[in-house]
Amino acid sequence: MSEGTVPVPPPNLELTQDEKAYAGLAHALMISTWWIGPLVIFLMKRSSRFVSFHALQALLWQIIFTLLYIGGMVSLFGVMFATMAVRLQAFDVPTADYPHAREYMTTVLAAPPVAAWMDEARKLPPRETY
């Protein structure tokens, strides 16, 4: 050892049962509390790197899952409403009984992805029966 250095004891790498339990709880609470449980555990146990890592990991997983879920729902409803708009227009369904239906379907059909899809669909030869 040199004269100016002070020996530093190695860090305690042993995990306590509480740390292990809180880390597992952060992942388990995602099921019932969505993102709130991991966030609460992260805020309560910031002193433990192990627990805060697992709480942030659970929180990130929940954010990714939520974004994918929202994207899937937007896609589902987009396809559903676009299909309704195409069917209403293709079969000339009267919309007099539904005063806002024509404006809504015009808005849906004006969306660029739907408009491009409609242009491709109009190029197809008509079918004789449905």
Domain, as residue range, for 117: 17-123
Assess if residue 52 is contained within a domain. Answer: yes
55-108 pLDDT, tens digit each = 999 999 999 999 999 999 988 988 887 777 777 666 666 655 666 766 777 777
CA dihedral 112, 117, 118, 124 (to 10 degrees): 160
Output the pTM of the full model.
0.59
Assess if residue 6 is contained within a domain. Answer: no
Rounded CA separation 50/35 (Å): 18
Instruction: State which H helix or E strand residue 71 sits in.
Output: helix 49-90
Assess if residue 37 is contained within a domain. Answer: yes
Q: Domain tally for the chain?
A: 1
Question: Contact at 8 Å (CB) between 89 and 102?
Answer: no
Assess if residue 9 is contained within a domain. Answer: no
Assess if residue 129 is contained within a domain. Answer: no
Assess if residue 36 is contained within a domain. Answer: yes
Assess if residue 107 is contained within a domain. Answer: yes
Assess if residue 93 is contained within a domain. Answer: yes
10-40 pLDDT, tens digit each = 676 789 999 999 999 999 999 999 999 999 9
